[in-house]
Amino acid sequence: MEVYTVAEAKNNFPKLRRLAARGIEFIVVDQKRAETAPVSMIATELLDKITKTALADLTLEWLDKPGDAITEDKVNQTWNLWNAQLQIHGIGETKNEAIQSLAEDAINYAKEYFDNLEFFLNPRSKRDDHYWILRGVRHCNENLNQVITIMGLNKLLEA
């Protein structure tokens, strides 16, 4: 894999952009700043494939539904939907409300995640693997219906 300094990348940017668009990855390093990590330049289309795969692998589980027993004398009144990968849930009086609630939680989590990437990408946060799913959510630009679709939540209404 080819490695370029920032100066070399600037001088060859049109060429490097064409290479990246064709799927050829290269590394850019900043030799003037030791604390700066190298970065890869690669086609967005390839990153979108990774995101699509992460979203396709989501597990969605109805934990509770109206009528489920909570205790001997108490009955659940809501639909509770759980996503294990992001560890978020949605709750509502109807399935649709629970789905919308989970999608809203995903949008809010994506905002928080990308506002504080340094924290969340730290392996000790145990949330660094959420990146690809939340990238997909973020690309919906807070459009609730798009988030519902890309997360596959709309399929839960068909079942």
* Residue-level pLDDT, tens digit, the chain, 159 residues: 788 888 899 999 999 999 888 888 889 998 777 777 888 888 889 999 999 999 999 999 998 888 777 777 777 788 999 999 999 999 999 999 999 999 999 999 999 999 999 999 888 889 988 999 999 999 999 999 999 999 999 999 876
Q: For the chain, first and last CA: distance in Å?
A: 47
Q: What is the pLDDT of residue 93?
A: 92
Alpha-carbon span 115 to 112, nearest angstrom: 5
Q: What is the pLDDT of residue 159?
A: 60
Give me the phi and psi of 32, to 5 degrees please. -85, -15
Q: What is the pLDDT of residue 38?
A: 84
Q: What is the pLDDT of residue 2?
A: 84
Q: What is the pLDDT of residue 73?
A: 73
Contacts of 143 (CB under 8 A, 6+ apart): none
pTM (two decimals): 0.84
Alpha-carbon span 70 to 28, nearest angstrom: 56
| Beta-bridge partner residues of 74 | 71
Sheet with 26-29, strands from edge to edge, namely: 3-5, 26-29, 39-41
